[in-house]
Structure 1
């Protein structure tokens, strides 16, 4: 089994150990990430499912299962100021409780943003 396969298995196992309904929600977000950017490599990073360019590079995205579910862009991803009313603030984390089609589209946009 390759390192990428082992890392993916660890992420799938981590998600599988989550309680419902969060497990299904996080699995859905994982699927959106992988469908949007199949070249990203899932792995566990600081105890969280995470996604990187390769097994040896820092994670660009993380999925947290704490008091609230959280999708975050790490400091290793390219940042761009939000502009507009946010000025120089850089959006880096999004909390969610469930995922619908609109949320899936937004997550896909976020994933694409870390690859540019």
Structure 2
């Protein structure tokens, strides 16, 4: 590397290694008769590895996705609890703030999410809690992202 160039951070390299491991594990699970159960377990394991506060938020989001966006299937993506469409494309994911030393966790949407609104729209949201105040907005985003918006 040339002097002054920065490579990937330790956290970024770890995330890439996690993703490579996920891809290897996914290839093995595709041979398995119960891929959906294995993917769900990977999400639950990702929750278990989080701090208590982040776990509560991730589990709240997980419950909302399962209830209000049942077309999405749980799976991990770069170590994050994520939810994919029928084509296996990630629609929504949860990134715990501690993963990269952030001060808050994020609910993010990928290209498969149907959130387009003109020439500019948000694709990620800081998410500090999932409760009676935040749940309606989360559900509305999930429905819009999956084409269920009214």
Q: Structure 2 length as normaliser, TM-score?
A: 0.68
1:111 alignment counterpart: 142
Match of 1:65 in 2: 96
- Whole-Å Cα distance in 1 between the matches of residues 144 and 78 of structure 2? 22
SS in 2 for 1:57: coil
Deviation of 1:76 after TM superposition, in Å, equals 2.4
Distance in 2, matches of 1:79 and 1:13, equals: 29
Aligned length in residues: 110
Q: TM-score, normalised by structure 1?
A: 0.86
Gaps of 5+ in 2: 1-32
How far the C-alpha of 1:73 sits from its partner, in A, is: 0.9
Question: How far is the alpha carbon of 1:65 from its aligned partner?
Answer: 0.5
- Listed one character per residue, the Cα deviations across residues 41-95 of structure 1 (whole Å, up to 9, x for unaligned) are 00001221110123x521011110022211111022234225xxxxx21121110
User: Is 1:102–2:102 an aligned residue pair?
Assistant: no
Higher-RCO chain (CA-CA 8 Å, sequence separation at least 6): 1
Q: Greater helix percent: which structure?
A: 2
Any runs of at least 4 consecutive aligned residues in structure 1 with deviations exceeding 6 A, and if so which?
A: none
Q: Which structure has the larger Rg?
A: 2
Structure with bigger strand share is 1
